[in-house]
Amino acid sequence: MTVKVILQKTVPSLGMVGDVVNVAPGYFRNFLYPKGFASLASEKNVGQWEHQKKVIAFKKDKQKGEAENLQKQLESQVFSLEHLAGQHDRLFGSITSQEIASKLKEAGFTIDRRQINQDEPIKTAGVHTVKIKLHPEVVAGVKLEVKAKHKEEEDKEPKQAKEKIKKEIKEETKEIETKESAEN
């Protein structure tokens, strides 16, 4: 004797979500139903499930369309990243998915770092293509231009910033002294 059930979740040995299958009554009563994997296949439940399937299909189509639009926007741009490098533009470390995600966020795209798939680590300066999974059926190839930032350039920047700050402090000090002398 078997019972007809509708699968609410995919069960590897049984079927996909929405499938109507025959199972032993004990299997349904003791495992499938308590865990929320299946419900009885009455006419009412089958009708509700058919409607739910249509709604799910509509949502999936809408999400796929949005993902395709986002794919076009991402693939039409080149994103630039600067990373500390040594000789021959070889990077210290590699470009991480988190760095790429934050750069995309700066550009106005909300992409989770787990959606980013690097075939191999980016360890050199130049143009690289990174795959981003936007939808199960849509993958965008995003171009990253990695620019090498050498140690000498980095050392100059803090010195210039310090000199600028010192100059501003001197100017502010002179202004305060002139105001105090004018008051006396």
Alpha carbons 121 and 98: distance in angstroms, whole number = 13
Residue 158 lies in a domain: no
- Of 149, 132, 142, nearest in space to 93 by CA: 149
Residue 59 lies in a domain: yes
Who contacts 150 (Cβ-Cβ below 8 Å, separation ≥6)?
A: 84, 85, 86
105 and 44 housed in the same domain: no
Residue 162 lies in a domain: no
Identify the domain containing residue 54 by its residue range. 3-66
Residue 167 lies in a domain: no
pTM above 0.85, yes or no: no
pLDDT in tens, the chain (184 residues): 899 999 888 888 888 888 889 999 999 999 999 999 999 988 888 888 888 888 888 988 998 999 999 999 999 999 999 988 888 888 888 899 999 999 999 999 988 888 999 888 899 999 999 999 988 888 999 999 999 887 765 555 666 777 778 777 887 777 777 777 776 6
CATH number at residue 106: 3.10.430.100
Alpha carbons 78 and 81: distance in angstroms, whole number = 10
CATH number at residue 34: 3.40.5.10
Domains identified in the chain, total number: 2
